Amino acid sequence: MRIAISTGGGDAPGLNAVIRAAVLSAINRGWDVLGIKRGYAGLLGEDEVIPLTKDTVRGIAHLGGTILRTTNRGNPFHYPIRQPDGTIVEVDRSGELIARAHDLGIDAIITIGGDGSLAIGQRLFECGVKIVGVPKTIDNDVSGTVNTFGFDTAVNTAIEAIDKLHTTAESHDRVIVMEVMGRHAGFIALYSGLAGTADVILIPEIPYDIERVCEKIMARDRAGRHFSIVVTAEGAYPVGGEESSIGDSLPGQERRVGGVANKIAREVQNRTGKECRSLTLGHLQRGGMPTGYDRLLATRFGGAAVRAVADGLFGHMVALQSPHIVCIPIAQVLTTTKRVDPSSDIVLTARATGISFGD
């Protein structure tokens, strides 16, 4: 048996732990393992395919990034080719990919990625490739799994940042608006804002009214709390405004960051007269060492993916349904995106402790 592993989309803390667990599990079964570099580029002649051995994965469980590198570009079904005149034309290179995998004797592919990568995996599976998926999303927006590796690390990074901003905000009587990731799902903002005891949390699932945000800040001010912390998801938008078009979540596209926090800080300063600052966490959220939670979950996913291959559960994705790891059809996962439920206990508790969602 020979399997291959691929990582696609933005990097997430825990990717290397998935790779390590999968490689060790496979080798200990007597299988061969190959690593496809940079998404599927390694199978399209744009990068390498390398053997993955016990030595290759030694000591990588706690390292951020991915030893296979990754990319947001290069969907084999819509592969961008630059023409002589500079324009980009998309071509279908999936046949080439499948042939190359066949030539290399690859029996099954474990693909680690988000919605975009899973959709590509599903199409390859429909073309006959034996695919097992491992979900990856910093934003926690993949459905069917309680969460995925990388999310806990991002939340902890955001909480640490809130802790740091708290002391400065309080010492200087300031309002600080911090922007975290989450274009369509506000989980990072909600979890970090509640754990970090923010005063206002803005998420795409609950459009905000800037006037209500300012009311909360001024109510605190009157109560002698002259500072406030606002945590906003990058996808938060005002009532009557428009959510970022779903279009920009296509694979191969890049997030734009920072604008939301700036805008809100400016508006709050204009309306309240209080000194406001903004900060965008950006790439700090997806880098670095995974937390213990993410190291463990990633390791469990890697082990489960190899068992799924052994069990012939192709077209399936491993998922956490606490306390179990289960396998669910990728096709089913792709039908919905997970979002914050405004009636969930977390939102209720946030409101009960006095946090405003600007609504």
Residues with a known catalytic role? 139
For a copy of itself, the binding residue among 108, 138, 155, 177 (CB under 8 A) is: 155
Q: Is 192 in the site for a copy of itself (CB under 8 A)?
A: yes
For a copy of itself, the binding residue among 291, 308, 316, 357 (CB under 8 A) is: 291
Cα gap 294→152, rounded to integer Å: 6
Nearer CB in complex with a copy of itself: 224/240: 224
Strand segments, DSSP code E, in the chain are 2-7, 32-36, 49-51, 79-82, 88-91, 108-113, 131-135, 175-180, 200-202, 228-233, 276-280, 316-321, 324-329
Q: Give the strand pairing for 2-7 and 108-113.
A: parallel
Contact in structure between 158 and 188 (CB atoms under 8 Å): yes
Among the listed ranges 92-100, 195-203, 214-222, 235-243, the one in contact with a copy of itself (CB under 8 A) is: 195-203
Mapped onto helix, strand or coil, the DSSP state of residue 264 is helix
Nearer CB in complex with a copy of itself: 143/244: 143
> Residue 69, CB half-sphere, CA atoms under 13 Å: how many?
13
Cα gap 95→97, rounded to integer Å: 5
Nearer CB in complex with a copy of itself: 55/85: 55
Give the dihedral sign, CA 255/4/15/41. Answer: negative
Report the site for a copy of itself in 166-185 (rule: CB under 8 A). Answer: 166-168, 170-173, 176
Report the site for a copy of itself in 297-356 (rule: CB under 8 A). Answer: 299-300, 302-304, 306-307, 321-325, 344-346, 348-349, 352-354
Report the site for a copy of itself in 218-277 (rule: CB under 8 A). Answer: 277
Nearer CB in complex with a copy of itself: 7/249: 7
Cα gap 177→210, rounded to integer Å: 13
Among the listed ranges 78-86, 165-173, 205-213, 329-337, the one in contact with a copy of itself (CB under 8 A) is: 165-173
Q: Is 134 in the site for a copy of itself (CB under 8 A)?
A: no
Report the site for a copy of itself in 44-73 (rule: CB under 8 A). Answer: 61-66, 69-72
